[in-house]
């Protein structure tokens, strides 16, 4: 080793080992991971082609099908956060020129519009005020007007706390010959989903919300109809990392190297999914619903009001209206720094108008509601 250049030590920080405050994460995500999940994540890594690791991948695939209620063979975890899995649905399903119709009821609908455009789609959108949802009639009219190849909707809008009803939408999409793409980032594990029954063709999610796992490996699935569109592409998928024509050879029976999986994230995801299978996904949905109703009641009891009409409220994420004259940012900061509780602020149209309170996965427990309400009572102006 000949080394003729001298070392630059400008950026050589001398640090202590990591030390962080213990927060209760009641924002829009991440939520706190289950202790057993953190423990699984800490297992020393295996190689990404080790037979013992391939078995872990197979278990993840089955359990993802279970929580999504689907039999889709192509059901995997993408090696990135939920946004990467979102991009994976678009990258694989969209060919340049495809008409993609996006229903925008909040921030993440807009993100789908931006992404689909980058993959060359002819993007059309329909919108509703943030906090509302589309009726089946509105969707029918839009499909008639735009005749899209793909209809993309957000099931659980993390920016508004509204739940888009999906019953009947799949039939509608079949009637108009288009694929149905659904964002389930804030619903998977916490909100009833029946992917196959509802005729959903493409879906993605994240690990750090309803599944109670740290972020970094993200659920992705494609129906056989969507796979058919993938197989008939005239152009390569415009994203190498997320190309399912390559990835399915790693996750499927061929086991061809594609990229080095985030091994420990998959350990964590397997444990999170295992815990849901143990609880039963319908019990997890029920738990989320019961605890959020307790949250709603508790918030109203201290004089706060909620942004979304009751029947469309998510069990995972609640938007609370910031009372007139209150500095929402200052309150959230006080909760964080004085009480170690994180809640979120509003995004986009709702910036400055609402707080966002998540009760997701391992965090969906009554004691967390009590802790939040107690802290809120201390920091809110009397």
Q: How far is the CB of 127 from a second copy (least distance, A)?
A: 20
Q: Does 254 bind a second copy (CB under 8 A)?
A: no
Residue closer to a second copy (CB basis): 81 or 149: 81
DSSP assignment of 174-189, as one string?
HHTT-EEEEE-TTTTT
Q: Does 233 bind a second copy (CB under 8 A)?
A: no
Contact between 85 and 204 (Cβ < 8 Å): yes
Q: Which of 103, 189, 199, 215 binds a second copy (CB under 8 A)?
A: 215
> Which of 112-120, 142-150, 296-304, 366-374 is the region at the interface with a second copy (rule: CB under 8 A)?
112-120
Q: How far is the CB of 115 from a second copy (least distance, A)?
A: 5
310-369: contacts with a second copy (CB under 8 A): 315, 336, 342, 347
Q: Which of 54, 57, 84, 367 binds a second copy (CB under 8 A)?
A: 84
> Which of 136-144, 222-230, 236-244, 294-302 is the region at the interface with a second copy (rule: CB under 8 A)?
236-244
For tokens 């993605």, name the residue: 204
Contact between 317 and 158 (Cβ < 8 Å): yes
Give the C-alpha distances (Å, rounded to integers) separating 380 from 161, 323, 325.
22, 10, 11
Residue closer to a second copy (CB basis): 142 or 273: 273
Q: How far is the CB of 71 from a second copy (least distance, A)?
A: 7
Residue closer to a second copy (CB basis): 5 or 303: 5
Closest CA to 212 of 23, 20, 25, 19: 25
Q: How far is the CB of 163 from a second copy (least distance, A)?
A: 11
Q: Which of 5, 232, 310, 367 binds a second copy (CB under 8 A)?
A: 5
| Cα 332 from Cα 351, distance rounded (Å) | 13
Q: Does 46 bind a second copy (CB under 8 A)?
A: yes
> Which of 121-129, 223-231, 275-283, 365-373 is the region at the interface with a second copy (rule: CB under 8 A)?
275-283
Residue closer to a second copy (CB basis): 160 or 208: 208
Give the C-alpha distances (Å, rounded to integers) separating 308 from 10, 129, 157, 377.
51, 11, 11, 22
> Which of 125-133, 143-151, 231-239, 317-325 is the region at the interface with a second copy (rule: CB under 8 A)?
231-239
Q: Does 239 bind a second copy (CB under 8 A)?
A: yes
For tokens 């080790």, name the residue: 50
| Cα 169 from Cα 196, distance rounded (Å) | 12
Q: Does 30 bind a second copy (CB under 8 A)?
A: yes
Those residues whose C-beta lies under 8 Å from the C-beta of residue 67, and which sit 6 or more positions away, are: 188, 189, 211, 219, 273, 276, 277, 281
Asked if residue 25 has a cis previous peptide bond (ω within 30° of 0), the answer is no
DSSP assignment of 197-237, as one string?
TTT--EEE--SSSTT---SS-EEEEE-HHHHHHHHT-SS--
Residue 65 host element (H or E): helix 51-68
Residue 268 host element (H or E): helix 263-279
Q: How far is the CB of 178 from a second copy (least distance, A)?
A: 22
Give burial (CB, 10 Å; 0-12/13-18/19+) of 271: buried
Q: Which of 138, 171, 224, 257 binds a second copy (CB under 8 A)?
A: 257
> Which of 173-181, 221-229, 233-241, 373-381 is the region at the interface with a second copy (rule: CB under 8 A)?
233-241
> Which of 132-140, 149-157, 266-274, 372-380 is the region at the interface with a second copy (rule: CB under 8 A)?
266-274
Q: How far is the CB of 179 from a second copy (least distance, A)?
A: 20
Q: Which of 25, 102, 142, 173 binds a second copy (CB under 8 A)?
A: 25
């Amino acid at each position: 080793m000949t080394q003729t250049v001298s070392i630059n030590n400008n950026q050589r920080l001398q640090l202590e080992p990591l030390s962080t405050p213990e927060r209760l994460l009641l924002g829009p995500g991440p939520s706190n991971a289950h202790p057993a999940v953190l423990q699984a994540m800490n297992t020393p890594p295996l190689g990404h082609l080790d037979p013992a690791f391939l078995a872990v991948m197979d278990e993840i695939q089955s359990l993802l099908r279970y929580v999504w209620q689907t039999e889709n063979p192509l059901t995997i975890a993408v090696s990135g956060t939920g946004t990467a899995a979102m991009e994976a649905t678009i990258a694989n399903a969209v060919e340049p020129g495809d008409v993609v119709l996006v229903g925008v009821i909040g921030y993440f609908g807009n993100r789908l519009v931006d992404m689909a455009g980058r993959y060359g789609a002819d993007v059309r959108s329909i919108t509703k005020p943030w906090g509302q949802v589309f009726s089946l009639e509105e969707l029918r009219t839009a499909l008639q007007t735009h005749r899209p190849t793909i209809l993309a909707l957000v099931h659980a809008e993390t920016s508004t706390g509204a739940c888009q009803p999906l019953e009947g939408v799949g039939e509608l999409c079949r009637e108009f010959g288009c694929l149905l793409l659904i964002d389930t980032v804030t619903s998977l594990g916490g909100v009833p989903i029946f992917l196959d029954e509802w005729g959903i063709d493409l879906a993605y999610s994240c690990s750090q919300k309803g599944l109670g796992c740290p972020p970094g490996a993200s659920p992705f699935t494609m129906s056989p109809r969507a796979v058919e569109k993938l197989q008939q592409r005239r152009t390569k998928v415009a994203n190498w990392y997320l190309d399912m024509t390559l990835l399915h050879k790693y996750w499927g029976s061929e086991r061809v190297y594609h990229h080095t999986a985030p091994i420990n994230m998959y350990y964590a995801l397997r444990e999170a999914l295992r815990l849901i299978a143990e609880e039963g996904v319908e019990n997890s949905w029920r738990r989320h619903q019961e605890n959020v109703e307790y949250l709603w009641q508790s918030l109203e009891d201290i004089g706060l009001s909620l942004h979304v009409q009751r029947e469309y409220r998510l069990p995972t994420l609640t938007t609370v209206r910031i009372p007139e004259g209150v500095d929402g940012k200052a309150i959230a900061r006080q909760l964080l720094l004085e009480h170690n509780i994180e809640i979120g602020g509003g995004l986009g149209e709702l910036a400055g108008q609402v707080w966002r309170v998540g009760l997701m996965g391992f965090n969906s427990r009554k004691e967390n509601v009590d802790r939040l309400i107690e802290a809120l009572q201390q920091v809110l102006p009397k």
